[in-house]
Amino acid sequence: MIRNTNFERPLSPDAPSMTHNIIELRQQLKGLGTPIAIALGGNLLIQPPVYTNTEVIIRGNTIRLVDGITDPTFAGSGISVLGAKKALVYDNIIDLPPPDQLIDWGCGDVPYLNNRTAAGALVQGQTVNGNAFVPQTDLELEIDDAALLSI
């Protein structure tokens, strides 16, 4: 893994951002857990949800498999956000097999914008609601739809 962790404080003194990193994942040995490139943790046990993280920006990161190897059996996640009141996830390149490329759990507002594969295909985020994964629309699609409707 190549690390270049840049923590900025763009929204408030408590708002970290994870920006411009190159992260390479590989399959773990059995029993060592699922690899996650960017994992923002929280606590799902507290009800109603208390947001562990207030405002977070995750942008401009490149997440891929080691040496670009295509492994259809890869079981890992690109970006996993847990317990954020607001998170903005945009302009990331995520070259991992679906389905767990972008996931948020127990969060408030988490818009996704322009997250793509290296080939340019749109990667949409998913919100975990109980045991169901609910696909989220990309803000870019919503902006394009609004522009078309205004013509």
Asked whether residue 87 is assigned to any structural domain, the reply reads yes
Asked whether residue 32 is assigned to any structural domain, the reply reads yes
- Kindly report the average pLDDT of the chain as a whole number: 79
**Per-residue pLDDT at 37:** 92
Asked whether residue 34 is assigned to any structural domain, the reply reads yes
**Per-residue pLDDT at 151:** 74
3-state SS, one letter per residue, for the chain: CCCCCEEECCCCCCCCEEECCEEEECCCCCCCCCCEEEEECCCCCCCCCCCCEEEEEEECCEEEEHHHCCCCCCCCEEEEEECEEEEEEECCEEECCCCCCEEEECCCECCEECCECCCCCECCCEEEECCEEEECCEHHHHHHHHHHHCC
Q: How many domains does the chain have?
A: 1
Asked whether residue 1 is assigned to any structural domain, the reply reads no
**Per-residue pLDDT at 135:** 80
**Chain segment 19-76, per-residue pLDDT in tens:** 999 999 887 766 677 889 999 887 666 666 678 888 899 999 999 988 777 666 777 8
**Per-residue pLDDT at 75:** 78
Asked whether residue 14 is assigned to any structural domain, the reply reads yes
% of the chain with per-residue pLDDT over 90 = 25
Asked whether residue 82 is assigned to any structural domain, the reply reads yes
Q: Which domain holds residue 47?
A: 6-149
**Per-residue pLDDT at 63:** 94
Asked whether residue 37 is assigned to any structural domain, the reply reads yes
Asked whether residue 108 is assigned to any structural domain, the reply reads yes
Mean pLDDT of the 101-114 span:
89
pTM: 0.77
